[in-house]
Amino acid sequence: MIYKTDYHMHSSFSDGRSAPEDYIAAAIASELSEIGFSEHLTLFRELEGWNMDPANIPAYMEHLDWVRKNTNHVRIRTGLEVDFFDGKEEEIRSFLSQLKVDYIIGSVHYMGEKTVDFGPEFYKDKDIDALYESYFNTVCNAAASGLFDIIGHCDLIRIFGYKPSKDPEPLYRKLARTMKIHNVAFEVNTNGRNRPLADFYPDRRFLNIFHEENVPVCVNSDAHMPARVGQYFDEAYELLRYTGFTEMAVFEKRVRKMMPF
Ligand SMILES: [Zn+2]
Ligand SMILES: [Zn+2]
């Protein structure tokens, strides 16, 4: 059996549908060896419905400790999906330094005051080439910040199918190099299949770049409900194998190990 993990899941502590314990049966059915919760944490913006209130972090951690104690057959990890903002590195660092977690996913949802995944209207009348460039720059800064173990859905800007007129290959190359230099993993995020994009993040045409640059990878579902835990993983693993990947990144207490698959 392959040692499979799913580190990107949202429970009702942020915008997921169910309590953490409700994801366990699905994880076992999907033959996962490890799962981790990664609730949304967004500092520097008004608290919205999809975010966990930072005041609930202790309750979240205690709850996961309780679930861990009562679960056999699958390891439970504690993570967070934290929004990255350019220029806020030090504030984010000092906030995260107090937390005992197994890993932190760094994601870029916001460009300015708006999130790129909320609706297609964000893209209307915008220069898509400039938007791509700016989005990738911020993701590179997130990777270089040293704040994160994994970068979440690194090309989320594709979500509504807006395409740049220029070949984005150099953007992916620069991002992959930055991730390697700063020792951050990327994820194949299978949830893109459930979104208007209808495909994984990152763009499969550029997966070879992450492999050439030797960036550690993990496969994550970004599940917001138990039924989506481990969803499309067979296809994602097949794709990675075909690209040449042979190892997966696993995390405990913010230490990464590589596991063959
Ligand atoms: Zn996200
Ligand atoms: Zn997420």
Instruction: Please compute the mean of the pLDDT values over residues 46-56 and round it to a whole number.
Output: 94
Q: Could you say which ligand is closest to the alpha carbon of residue 8?
A: 2
Task: Compute the distance from residue 191 Cα to the ligand 1 centre, in Å.
Answer: 10
* pLDDT exceeds 90 at position 33: yes
Task: Compute the distance from residue 57 Cα to the ligand 1 centre, in Å.
Answer: 18
Mean pLDDT, the chain, integer: 97
- Locate all alpha helices (DSSP H) within 55-127, ordered by sequence: 57-69, 89-96
Which pair of tokens denotes residue 106?
């760094």
Per-residue pLDDT, 67:
98
Task: Compute the distance from residue 260 Cα to the ligand 2 centre, in Å.
Answer: 25
* pLDDT exceeds 90 at position 72: yes
> d(Cα 126, Cα 200) in Å, to the nearest integer?
24
Q: pLDDT grade, residue 249 (50/70/90)?
A: very high
Answer yes or no: pTM beyond 0.85.
yes
* pLDDT exceeds 90 at position 226: yes
Residues, beta carbon < 5 Å, ion ligand 2 = 81, 222
Distances from the Cα of 25 to the Cα of 4, 126, 235, angstroms: 15, 44, 21
Tens digit of each residue's pLDDT (9 = 90 or more) over 97-130:
999 999 999 999 999 999 999 999 999 999 999 9
Q: Could you say which ligand is closest to the alpha carbon of residue 222?
A: 2
Per-residue pLDDT, 1:
79
Instruction: Please compute the mean of the pLDDT values over residues 15-23 and round it to a whole number.
Output: 97
> How do beta strands 114-115 and 5-6 pair?
unpaired
* pLDDT exceeds 90 at position 17: yes
Per-residue pLDDT, 182:
98
Task: Compute the distance from residue 152 Cα to the ligand 1 centre, in Å.
Answer: 6
Task: Compute the distance from residue 103 Cα to the ligand 1 centre, in Å.
Answer: 15
Tens digit of each residue's pLDDT (9 = 90 or more) over 73-102:
999 999 999 999 999 999 999 999 999 999
> d(Cα 43, Cα 92) in Å, to the nearest integer?
8
Task: Compute the distance from residue 110 Cα to the ligand 2 centre, in Å.
Answer: 13
Tens digit of each residue's pLDDT (9 = 90 or more) over 209-225:
999 999 999 999 999 99
Task: Compute the distance from residue 81 Cα to the ligand 2 centre, in Å.
Answer: 6
Task: Compute the distance from residue 140 Cα to the ligand 2 centre, in Å.
Answer: 18
Task: Compute the distance from residue 109 Cα to the ligand 1 centre, in Å.
Answer: 6
> d(Cα 169, Cα 134) in Å, to the nearest integer?
15
> d(Cα 187, Cα 204) in Å, to the nearest integer?
12
Q: Could you say which ligand is closest to the alpha carbon of residue 201?
A: 1
Q: pLDDT grade, residue 139 (50/70/90)?
A: very high
Residues, beta carbon < 5 Å, ion ligand 1 = 107, 152
